[in-house]
Amino acid sequence: MVNLLRDAEIEGLLQATPSLIENFDASRLAAGKSPVKGATLDLAVGDIFVPGAKVNRLGGLERPRSHLSLKCGQTAILRSSEKIHMPKDVAGIGFPPSTSASLAGLLSTNPGHIDPDYVGYLHLTVVNMGKENFPIARGDRMMRVMFFQLDGDAQRKLGELPPPLTEELLGRLSHDFLDIDDRAKKAEEVRLRSWQLWASFFGAALTVALTFGYQLFIGQRDLVPGIRAE
């Protein structure tokens, strides 16, 4: 049998030893902005990684960003600020950021299932599908997690696993999901070629007009008595 945990039960896990979240400050539960909702727990953005960034460059594995203005069509990988310590008889399911973020055009991959006994951070990939830049900063709400009590301990032990985020993975993901930058460059090249074509056309037309005008002027001058062409 599986039961969805309510707020009081989630708070109990946070106050337990070990806590559901490593180094969790229990005073946050009494504050007006408690991360615990009716039956979910909010996790916040910790590190921000940019696909394609080199390891030692800003946005890379060794130098994650703390904030980012995500442009239209661009992607980023978010790591939770919280390190999760799942009990052996509790599983979780993560959901994308808030409705306000999705309505603004931020598309998120599904964080997915969290196994019992898992220890580590959570990750998800976001894509800005909106028309405007989308600001992301450390501390912003990253996802909501629902927890389910199992009727017994999971038999397969996980513990702390190696971080799933690698340089190979960052290099494989596209920084520009919709190829906005590439399409903008191509559009600029088309505009430039069009301008050059029209400039050549108007240049040729102006030359023809001036030549015709000059010949017409010479012809009219020859028709006026007393004026001869040199």
Element (H, E) at 167: helix 167-172
Position 209 scores a pLDDT of 63
Position 154 scores a pLDDT of 86
Antiparallel, parallel or unpaired: β 112-114 and 141-149: unpaired
Provide CB contacts within 8 A for 125, sequence distance 6+. Answer: 75, 76, 77, 78, 108, 109, 173
How far apart are the C-alpha atoms of 207 and 30, rounded to whole Å? 81
Position 129 scores a pLDDT of 87
Position 177 scores a pLDDT of 57
Kindly list the strands in the beta sheet with 159-160, ordered across the sheet, starting from the edge strand earlier in the chain: 84-85, 118-120, 159-160
pLDDT in tens, the chain (230 residues): 789 999 999 999 999 999 999 999 999 998 778 999 999 999 999 999 999 888 889 999 999 999 999 998 899 999 999 999 999 999 999 988 766 676 677 888 877 899 999 999 999 999 998 888 999 999 998 899 999 999 988 888 887 878 778 877 777 777 765 554 554 455 455 455 655 655 565 666 666 666 666 566 566 555 555 555 44
Position 137 scores a pLDDT of 94
Structure tokens at 79: 């790591």
Q: Are 29 and 14 in contact (CB under 8 A)?
A: yes
The residue among 86, 89, 70 whose CA lies nearest residue 78 is 70
Position 222 scores a pLDDT of 57
The verdict on pTM exceeding 0.85 is: no
Position 178 scores a pLDDT of 54
How far apart are the C-alpha atoms of 90 and 114, rounded to whole Å? 9
What are the Cα distances from residue 66, in Å, to 90, 100, 192, 205, 214?
Answer: 31, 21, 38, 57, 69
How far apart are the C-alpha atoms of 192 and 87, rounded to whole Å? 61
